[in-house]
A and B are shown apart, each in its own frame.
Chain A
Amino acid sequence: MTNLIPKQLRKNKQQRYKLLMVAMVVILLVSLTLAVMIGPVLIPPLRVWQIALSQVFPNVTGDWTQAQVQIVWLIRFPRVLLAFFVGAGLSVVGVIMQALVRNPLADPFILGISSGASVGAVLVILFGIFSFFGVYALSFGAFLGALLAFFVVFFLARRQGHLSSTRLILIGVAVSSLFEAVTSFLAIKAGSGEATRRVLFWLLGGLSGTTWTDLILPVLALFLGIGYLLLQTRSLNALLIGEETARTLGTDTDRFRKQLFFVTSLLTGVIVAVSGVIGFVGLMIPHSVRFLVGSDHRRVLPVSLLLGGIFLIWADVLARTIVAPEELPIGIITALFGAPFFIWLMQAKGGGK
C-alpha cells in the first residue's frame, strides 16, 4: 500500500508536466500568429497563415495585396521566428551556465562572450572594418570578438589542463570587465553623438531588419547546440549535485565542462552576432522554469526553450509597438517587463531554490 502512493504522485507530476508542455506549444502557435498579425498594418490571423502557405506552396492563391505579403512574409515572419530562436537559445544557454559555474546568478554573458562580441561590433560600427562583408560585417565582427573572448577565457581559466567552475567564473568576469572597458572607451572616443547612439542601440539588442537568410546560420547553430545539450541532461543533473557525486556517477567532469563551455560560447556568440546583447532572458527564464517544474534538466531544458522563445516573441512585439512608429531596443523591454514579472513569480511561489 505505501509504495503505491509515491507512484501515484509521480504519475500526477508527469501528467502535469505533459499538460504544461502541450499548453506551451499551443501558446507558442498562438503567439506566433498574433506577433505576425500585430504591427502598423494589422493583418487578420487567417490571412497570416494563408500567405505563409502560399509562399511555400505556390499554387495557393488568394486576395491579398503585394504589400501585405511583403510585410507578413518578408518582414514579420523572419523577425518573429528569430525572436523565438534567440529567446530559446538564450534561455537554454542560461540554464547550462548556471549548472556550469554552479551559480544561480550566471547568465549567457557572464563569461565574457558578449563583451568580446561587443568589441567586435563596436569596431565595425565605428571604423567600418570588414566592410567587404557588406550587410554581414556587423555579425561577423561580433562573432569574431566572441570567439576571441572564448579563447582568452578558456586558456586563462585552464590550470594544468583542468577547468574548474570557480576559476572559470572568476576569469570570465575579469575578462568580461576588460572587454567592456574597451567597448566603452571606443564608444566614447567615437567623436559623434550619432555613432555612440548606434553603439548603444546595438548593445541593447534588436531584431529589426531580419531577413530569411539571416535565420539560416543561427537556426542551424541553435539546432545543433540545443540538440547536443538536450542529450546531456543526465550529466547536467550530476554536475549540479556536486563535483564528487558527478564523478562517482561516471561523468568526466573536466572534459564535460570544457565541452559545455565550448558549446555555450558558440551559441552565445551566434546569438549576440545576430541580435546584440539581450539581457535578462538567460538569467530569469531558467529560474522561472525551475519554479514551475523543479530542477531536473530533462524538464528544465525543454520548458526553458519554449518559455524563453515565447517571452522574446512578445518582448519583440512590445519593442515595435509600445512607442510606434518608433522602435525601442529589445533589451530595454526584456528587463523592464521581465523583472516585475519575475518578482511577482517569486512572491507567488514563495522563495527561491
Chain B
Amino acid sequence: MENLYQEIREIGQIFAVEQRAENLIVQLRSQLQVTQQKLGKVTTKKRIFWYDSKDPPVTASNWGIPNHIIELAGGENIFKDIQEKKAWVTVNWEDVIARQPDVIVLIDANWSSAEEKRRLLKSNPAYSQLKAVQQDKFIVIGFSYTMPGIRNVAGVRQLAEALYPERFK
C-alpha cells in the first residue's frame, strides 16, 4: 500500500495537485484503518484460492497486490509459498485440490468472467468435489480492484466483509 500512496503522491507532484493527492492518501489510509479495526485480530485465517484465469488456472503468488489484499483482509493465500517475482502464476489443479481452500475468490474480468469459472468448478468431476465448491463458498471480486490502483483499499474492504461478515455488522 505504501507504494500506492507514493505513486499517488508522485502523480500529485507531476500534475501540481499535491494537496488533492495528500487528501486522497489520507482518505485511503483511514478507510483501510477502519477495515483493519473492524476486522480485529484474526486467529484462524480463512484459506483462499485466488482464481484468476480459467484454465490452466492462474492464481496469485506471494508477490504483488492480490496476495497483499488477501493478507490485509485477514485471509491466507493457499499459494503464498510461490515466491516468483510476478503477481500472477499458472498452477496445477492438483495443487488446488491438495491444498483444500476454504473459500474461492472468483476474479471477474472481461476475458474470464466469474460466472464461467464458477461453471467450470461446478461441472468438472474433480474440482466440484472441493468442499469450497460444494458449500458454494465463492466471493466475486472485479478485476479492476486487483490491479495496483486506488481501488485496492475498497477491494480489501470487500474481501474482508465477505470473509468475516460477522465482524462488519
Contacts and interface: CB of A to CB of B under 8 A. Distances in A.
Contacts of B94: 39-41, 71, 75-76, 320
B97 A70 contact: yes
Contacts of B56: 201, 206, 208-209, 327
B97 A326 contact: no
B129 A70 contact: yes
Contacts of A197: 53
Interface string B106-125: 00011110001001100111
A34 to B, nearest CB: 16
B92 A324 contact: yes
A113 to B, nearest CB: 23
Q: Which of A76, A206, A325, A326 has the most CB of B within 10 A?
A: A325
B98 interface: yes
A195 B111 contact: yes
A39 B96 CA distance: 12
B132 to A, nearest CB: 14
A66 interface: yes
Nearest to A76: B94
B82 interface: yes
Interface string B65-103: 000000000000001011010001111111101100000
Given A194-B53, A195-B111, A327-B90, A66 B82 contact: no
Contacts of B116: 131, 134
A326 B129 contact: no
A261 B95 CA distance: 41
Contacts of B88: 194
A84 to B, nearest CB: 19
Contact of B82 (A76, A131, A192, A326): A326
B157 to A, nearest CB: 24
Contacts of A76: 94
Q: How large is the interface on B (under 10, 10 to 19, 20 to 34, 35 or more residues)?
A: 20 to 34
A197 B87 CA distance: 14
B111 A125 contact: yes
Contacts of B81: 325
A135 interface: yes
Contact of A74 (B91, B111, B123, B125): B125
B97 A75 contact: yes
Contacts of A320: 92, 94
A232 to B, nearest CB: 37
Given A71-B98, A326-B89, A211 B84 contact: no
A67 B98 contact: yes
Interface string A133-145: 0110000000000
B126 A75 contact: yes
Given A71-B97, A209-B93, A325-B92, A126 B111 contact: yes
Interface of B: 53, 55-57, 79, 81-82, 84, 88-95, 97-98, 109-112, 116, 119-120, 123-126, 129
Given A41-B98, A198-B111, A209-B57, 11 more contacts: A40-B92, A70-B126, A70-B129, A71-B126, A126-B111, A197-B53, A324-B92, A325-B79, A326-B82, A326-B91, A326-B92
27 contacts: A41-B94, A67-B97, A67-B98, A71-B94, A71-B97, A74-B126, A75-B94, A75-B97, A131-B116, A198-B111, A198-B112, A208-B55, A208-B92, A208-B93, A209-B56, A209-B57, A211-B124, A211-B125, A211-B126, A212-B125, A320-B94, A324-B92, A325-B79, A325-B92, A326-B82, A327-B90, A327-B92
